[in-house]
Amino acid sequence: MRWLNEAIHPLVRREINVFLKRARKKSGVVVVEAPLLLEAGWAGDFDAAVVVAAGPKAVARRRRPQFDAAQARQRSRFQWPLKKKIAQCDFVIDNGADKRQTYIQVKRLFDSLRKGATVRRHSSRKGVTPRL
């Protein structure tokens, strides 16, 4: 897996940079969805890092149909535990409830960032993560 990440991450990062350069010309807020953003050590390169969190029961309900349970467990072994992600991010969106509640949280965050809200990077926050 390390070999694969070392081969793929530079290509992914280059594409993200190209995307950001184009998107910033059109919008004040740009979202990059990167499943291993924290694990790759890239969070500090962005204005804010957001984790979408859901408990194990919610995750099990939303399992991707292309993966069986064993495949899902294998894939999750390469990800940080949720608590570690939450400690390293700037915002947490709780996706454990219904879609409406998740939408409200996402809209609140987007509106706040669009208005120019400043984000204190996680290194100075001592594990306090604003929840939306």
The count of other CB atoms within 10 Å of the CB of residue 108 is 13
In a domain, 51, yes or no: yes
In sequence order, the 6+-apart residues with CB closer than 8 A to the CB of 68 are none
The count of other CB atoms within 10 Å of the CB of residue 80 is 15
In a domain, 24, yes or no: no
Torsion of CA 60, 5, 87, 116, to 10 degrees: -100
**pLDDT at residue 57 in the model:** 61
In a domain, 11, yes or no: no
pLDDT tens for residues 75-109?
777 788 889 999 988 899 998 878 899 999 999 99
Helix, strand or coil for residue 92? strand
In a domain, 91, yes or no: yes
What's the structural domain count of the chain?
Answer: 1
Whether residue 119 contacts residue 48, with contact meaning beta carbons closer than 8 Å, is answered with yes
In a domain, 109, yes or no: yes
What DSSP designation does 45 have?
G
In a domain, 10, yes or no: no
- The structure's pTM equals 0.73
In a domain, 92, yes or no: yes
pLDDT tens for residues 15-64?
999 998 888 888 778 889 888 889 888 988 888 899 998 866 655 555 56
Domain around 67: 32-124
Q: What is the CATH number of the domain that holds 74?
A: 3.40.50.300
**pLDDT at residue 1 in the model:** 81
